[in-house]
Structure 1
Amino acid sequence: MNNELQSAPDATIRERFAARRAQGLRARDAAEALGLSEGAVIAAHAGAADAALRATALKGEWLAILQTLEACGTVMALTRNESTVHEKDGVYQHLSANGPIGLALSREIDLRLFFMHWHAGFAVTEASTQPGQAEARSLQFYDAHGTAVHKVYARAATDLSAWNALVERFATSEATPSFSQRPARKAVPPDAGIDASGLREAWAAMQDTHEFFEMLRRFGAERQQALRLMQGHFTEALPKDSVTRLLNEAALSGVSIMVFVPSPGCIQIHTGPVSNIRPLDTASGARWINVLDKGFNLHLRTDLIDTVWMVRKPTADGIVTSLEMFDHSGDLMAMFFGERKPGVPELVEWRELLAAIADVPVIREAAA
């Protein structure tokens, strides 16, 4: 962290941030260049009327805010992590929550929401750096460490009267939220301390993919550690270029896929075919694979991929197969599935596609 700016006046942060943005940096990268979290930089703009970026703090009524978005019509939902950005156009519909766990369940906007990690929200308006372009309007939500968990952007078709009414309804004059430094990552337990045979038996007995996380907790296993311990039984390590091959093959075959991208407080899902797959190498050394389809964009940094796994999970509907990739910090970047619904077996075309990429036989029955 930048010790100087940690205690700097908000006006100084705004000035430094504007200079970085003028250099062409995206907001998240500009904040990082200042040694601050994005949430802290946005908070420094709260109430400032003379900056290119203006922010209004929002009440912590997260579910109600998202439910109210339906009246705004078409917007763009954005969820990202360090390496992967998932953008989806649609209308926020069918929002619900059970305690701190929320859902949005429309075909276009499909979210799993973990409100226990939502700490602060802002309505943000930023002037464009391009002449003649309209201001960008967004709702931005952050965890306690200033990492964005979810964002919503107005589109050309958005009802701005409804948007402005939402901001007015949920604006708060309470103190601007503060953010803390993220604690050190917990160490991965030694493999010798994991009951691998018990884990394998529990894995084989799964009836629903949602049992997976509780199973890991019960055995005290870190996610990638469990994948490694189950290699040759339920998992296979794949080359780093597997995601690029997957997207290209899915585009060629037309098979309908599901793309899951997590942040600290949200998982955003796309369901459907993909078609316009474009690689991009930048001067900075970043290497991207992109899906640039109407209503759905995916941007994934392939140079940050550390490991890729094909994962099979038994369910009451048969084996469910996914491609999962992790970065060098051990964080999950994205997961890919074939399109499916509860009660419906996995698409044969998806299973065949993954088997071809992994160079393994197509599974016709439960894994052993």
Structure 2
Amino acid sequence: MTLDTLAPVSPADLRRARADAPKTRARDLADTLGVTEAALVAAHVDGVKVVRIDPAVDRLMPAIQALGDVMALTRNVSCVHELTGTYEDFHSGPHASMVLGAEIDLRMFPKHWVHGFALLDGPCPSVQVFDAAGDAVHKVFLTDVSDRAAFDRLVQDLRLGDQSDDITLAARKPVEAAKLRHDKADELRSEWGALTDTHQFLRLASKLKMNRLGAYRVAGAPWAFELATGAVTKLLHAAAKDAIALMIFVGNQGCIQIHGGPVARVEPMGPWINVLDPRFNLHLRADHIAEAWHVIKPIRDGMAHSIEAFDADGALIVQIFGKRDPDTAAFTALVEGLPRKAGE
């Protein structure tokens, strides 16, 4: 039974369940109850401790910039990406917006910023945004040095008139499985070789009626090589050991969050592989990785190498590139030595 077919749970029942499990993470409790995380948060709206706010990116980002040092969190089902820093250099756009700060680097897709809440209670007040289906898009948590007065202004300025404790959600769209066109393999490989920028790739795949994972499977060598599923964990450990700077992308349909720099402390914990650095944390469910790919794309000044992991449904979990400062030679050598899938 999927989450979308379960009977609704009343806000009062959700509040009781939260009171009975105060230390359980909201996402985990929502999954246990068979509801979305947004429904669990909305059940606690009282206009005082939990407040509905306008989630519009163009209004929210300037207010978040005023908070100073905060922790930004973006996740998908299998990976959580946490950056501490200040929101800087916001660029608005009707279809895509950006934050290009020294530490917090985001790509945002405003149409998916549908439900917004400010949580004022507890040690880490936060702003939390969810998509139409109730899945988390982006969260911002205050730190000990955040500007609390600016947070209070944010809540006051963005407060909505509707402070009800229920929520209307759309059905969650299923993950798009790999779309393959083997009859287009030669055309795909030829046009792939003519790319000059990594952003051109998805347009190429779409033109040929494929998606990212489908194109990797169809193209194969010399552009895409399937790896052993443990390759991502090996990559993180090796990058930490040799101080190789990475670009780590984790996202969902509404937001992509990017870490640019080295990783230092890489720790396994059960099925999770974790990066536990002072200003960057990553929590990756290694057991969710069904496919891992070493992907090579031509760019104007060479080749861009990436490691990309997908779950069993074909959803992208994480992408890792070498940070192009000062160069990516060490990263390229590392990924070329990662174990390939048996038979590759």
What range describes the TM-score normalised by the shorter chain of this pair?
Answer: over 0.9
Q: Are the aligned partners of 2:98 and 2:108 in contact in 1 as well (CA < 8 Å)?
A: yes
Q: Deviations over 1:273-327 (max 9, x none)?
A: 111111111xxxxx11111111000110111110110000011121100000011
Q: Are the aligned partners of 2:6 and 2:34 in contact in 1 as well (CA < 8 Å)?
A: no
Alignment map for 1:10-159 (pairs within 5 Å): 10-19=11-20, 21-22=21-22, 24-47=23-46, 54-127=49-122, 135-159=123-147
1:183 paired to 2:166: no
SS of the residue corresponding to residue 323 of structure 1 reads: strand
SS of the residue corresponding to residue 121 of structure 1 reads: strand
Q: What RMSD in Å do the two structures reach over aligned CA positions?
A: 1.9
Q: Tell me the equivalent position of 1:130.
A: none
Q: Are the aligned partners of 1:94 and 1:106 in contact in 2 as well (CA < 8 Å)?
A: yes
Cα 1:166–1:264 shift into 2, 3 Å: same
SS of the residue corresponding to residue 144 of structure 2 reads: coil
SS of the residue corresponding to residue 338 of structure 2 reads: helix
TM superposition score normalised by structure 2: 0.92
1:322 paired to 2:306: yes
The equivalent position to 1:196 in structure 2, one of 164, 175, 185, is 185
Alignment map for 1:345-356 (pairs within 5 Å): 346-356=327-337
1:250 paired to 2:245: no
Q: Deviations over 1:76-118 (max 9, x none)?
A: 0000111111000000010112212000001200001111211
1:233 paired to 2:222: yes
Q: Tell me the equivalent position of 1:214.
A: 203
Cα 1:11–1:265 shift into 2, 3 Å: same
Task: Give the distance between the partners of 1:297 and 1:240, measured in 2 at CA.
Answer: 21
The equivalent position to 2:154 in structure 1, one of 144, 159, 166, is 166
Q: Deviations over 1:240-270 (max 9, x none)?
A: 1111111111111111111110122111000
Q: Are the aligned partners of 2:4 and 2:172 in contact in 1 as well (CA < 8 Å)?
A: no
SS of the residue corresponding to residue 170 of structure 2 reads: coil
Which one is further off, 135-144 or 180-189? 180-189
Q: Deviations over 1:167-198 (max 9, x none)?
A: 11111113655212213444544544x51111
1:308 paired to 2:292: yes
> 5+ residue gaps in structure 2?
none
Which one is further off, 80-89 or 173-182? 173-182
Q: CA deviation at 1:32?
A: 1.2
Which one is further off, 107-116 or 178-187? 178-187
Amino acid at match of 1:125: L
Identity %: 36
Task: Give the distance between the partners of 1:244 and 1:187, measured in 2 at CA.
Answer: 24
Amino acid at match of 1:321: H
Cα 1:275–1:4 shift into 2, 3 Å: closer
The aligned length equals 336
Q: Tell me the equivalent position of 1:364.
A: none
Q: Are the aligned partners of 1:123 and 1:137 in contact in 2 as well (CA < 8 Å)?
A: yes
Q: Are the aligned partners of 2:178 and 2:212 in contact in 1 as well (CA < 8 Å)?
A: no
TM superposition score normalised by structure 1: 0.86
